[in-house]
Structure 1
Amino acid sequence: MAKINPTIVLYNQKIDKSITFISLYKTLKKNTELINHINKILVVDNSDNENISKYNREKLENLNDEVITVLYLGKRKNLGIAKAYNLAVNILEIENFSNNNWILLLDQDSTLTKELFLGFLQNDKEYMNNNIGIVMPRVICKQKIVSPLLIKTPFDFKEPSKNIKGIQKKRVTGINSCSFINLNAIKKINGFNEDFPIDYLDHITFWEIQNKGYQVYVLETMINHDLSFFDFPSVPLHRYKIYLEARLNFIKEISKTNKKPLNRSIFVKDFLFLHCKRTIKNKMYKHFVYGSKVFLKFMFLNKKSKRYF
């Protein structure tokens, strides 16, 4: 029987204001047939606000639910997403989990329904028979499928057809949120890659798991989800810088894995179309200046590497 470990990462948000926790808890209480498939709920609190982290800890420790186990994990600092996930995985590893044990990755603002769980559970036997490492819903943002995505080049992705579902024979990528990942698959890649603390963690995770021979299964279930970069003009400068650094690091990492030389034209293309076009078009001149520095610094630091440039 499949066992699911929903794992929510909070950041400076009270637990009773988290749409994810509220909707998850209500869904399980209303649909008791799902509870047998829930091992425990893990809440990893990345809050660096001491009052909020204290509030969350006390709230969850006093929950006193005899049916659903909720475990609070927090260090009163922002660990980043990768370390937060690994903290949860390390706790679960102590239990000597079975092959059919899964972690459901969640942010703090997703609305969960029973359909996500039922969609996952009704295909349970297929996962073990086909070496499935990731099970994911179709995620919609502004009427576009943002997860899963097809691989256009090793570094670029494109929207799939609306009817994408089932076992994916070709490599795909997607977002972590609302994805079920097999715990043995995570163990095979030595945990989540902490070189990608926030951005591109999802893409590197999909890449690494599929490189270990696992396949991806896409559910017919659809989830609506807002992505910050879909509203590009509202992206803060510091977040844009983090995103660009992660993007460039991803390109470098994939090139290393593929053992193929990386032409500088990849970076020129990203610089002109990913960076310059978007920032100048939206009159985000500070983003343009700081982003240009990120590109130049990255290329300068790596120019001596003959293997990748």
Structure 2
Amino acid sequence: MISNIAGVVVLYNPEADVFDNISTYYNSLDKLYVVDNSEVPSEKLLLKLKKSFSKVEYHHLENNQGIAKALNVAASRAFEEGFDWLLTMDQDSQASEGMVPTLLEVCAKIPKERIGIIAPKYILETDSSELDQNNIQEVDVVITSGNLLNMCAFKEVGPFREDFFIDYVDHEYCLRLKLSNYKVIKNNKVILYHKLGESKSHSFLGYQVNASHHNFLRRYYITRNRLAVLKEFKSRFPQYYRNESTNNIRELVKIILFEKNKVSKVKSVVQGYKDFYSNKFGKYNG
């Protein structure tokens, strides 16, 4: 069941713990594509990669071209080389023991031909309602890290949207998969240990409130790309539209109440709106 699986880890100026992270899922793969978005690649890192992992194919994109470009490079190579699945991992994510084969247990209950993505449960999630007796849950969207992407679905649905550059690349792709009648499945039986930037918990009026503390650049991409996804999929996914529209407002309030560099972040939100309405996408150039 676990044969014919490739993986990709996308790098951007990674920390030393990236090797420990890779080792948590490497042995479940037949090949690992390492796609490096760092402007200047680390020779030390590359030497250690080659020494530590024999099934690695390294790609340096020469400059930061975004998560979508990196995923497309790996997915295209995986499809060309005849792999059935592609595990997509962030550099700071760790797999729990047996994550990949446990994810694939879904295929015993749902025909592989109708599955677009199989995702784990993320350790950051705390809502117990995510768990059910069967452990399998069909959802609208999942984040990129820890996913098994069906290569047949990739062939049909096409590449990730590179003009988004980073944020909402995952949401847009999941919704596109669902419009092509592929299922996005969470297997809550398996855990991915995932970091979420500088997320912090704050006390407010007796409640604990989580704020992401994304930097101003991420805040720009989140705003611009979220608006594009909402516009594209509003009529087909009304509940998703309502949830994300609410999140748009909540996150702005959290920036004002809890986060540092409020002015630059609010300006980035405004710029995100402007560029969305001007249909200006791609990498932000200031």
Q: TM-score range by the shorter chain?
A: 0.7 to 0.9
Relative distance call for 1:113 and 1:271 in structure 2 (3 A) is closer
Q: Which residue of 1 aligns with 2:256?
A: 280
CA contact (8 A) 2:18 2:92 kept: no
Instruction: State the percentage of identical aligned residues.
Output: 25
| Alignment match of 1:222 (pick from 173, 184, 191) | 191
Partner of 2:58: 72
| Residue correspondence of structure 1 range 116-127 to structure 2 within 5 A | 116-127=99-110
Aligned equivalent of 1:245: 224
**Letter of the structure 2 residue corresponding to residue 11 of structure 1:** Y
Post-superposition offset of 1:237: 1.4
Question: What TM-score comes out, normalization by structure 1 length?
Answer: 0.72
> Helix, strand or coil: the match of 2:149?
strand
Q: CA deviation at 1:251?
A: 1.6
CA distance in 2, matches of 1:103, 1:205: 14
Structure 2 length-normalised TM: 0.78
Q: Is the 8 A contact 2:216 2:265 kept in 1?
A: yes
Q: 2:45 aligns with which of 44, 47, 56?
A: 56
* Distance in 2 of aligned mates of 1:206 and 1:71: 26
How far the C-alpha of 1:63 sits from its partner, in A, is: 5.0
1:55: how far off? 3.1
Distance 1:177 1:131 in 2: 21
Contact 1:7 1:105 in 2 (8 A): yes
Look up the match of 2:170. 202
Answer whether contact 1:14 1:56 (CA < 8 A) is retained. Answer: no
For 1:172, what is the secondary structure of its paired residue?
coil
Name the CA distance, whole Å, in 1 between partners of 2:144 and 2:271.
Answer: 29
**In structure 1, C-alpha distance between the alignment counterparts of 2:193 and 2:47, rounded to whole Å:** 31
Structure 1 residue 216, shift from structure 2 partner = 2.5
Task: Provide the residue aligned with 1:154 in structure 2.
Answer: none
Give the direction of change, closer, same or farther, for the CA distance of 1:291–1:22 in structure 2 (3 Å limit). Answer: same
Bigger Rg over Cα: 1
For structure 1, the residue ranges without an aligned partner over 5 or more in a row are: 29-33, 146-158, 303-309
Aligned twin of 1:155: none
Query: 2:199 touches 2:213 (CA, 8 Å); kept in 1?
Result: no
TM-superposition CA deviations, 1:240-263 (whole Å, max 9, x none): 1122112112222224x8599xx9
Question: Unaligned 5+ residue runs, structure 2?
Answer: 201-210, 280-286
SS of the residue aligned with 1:199?
Answer: coil
RMSD over aligned Cα atoms: 3.2
| 1:130-150 deviation per Cα after TM superposition (whole angstroms, max 9, x unaligned) | 611111111121x525xxxxx
Number of matched pairs:
262
Letter in 1 for 2:33: L
Is the counterpart of residue 39 in structure 1 residue 39 in structure 2? no
Give the conservation status (yes or no) of the 8 Å contact 1:16–1:22: no
Among 113, 121, 126, the alignment partner of 1:144 is 126
Residue 73 to residue 233, structure 1, CA distance change in 2 (3 Å)? closer
Out of 150, 158, 161, the position equivalent to 1:193 is: 161
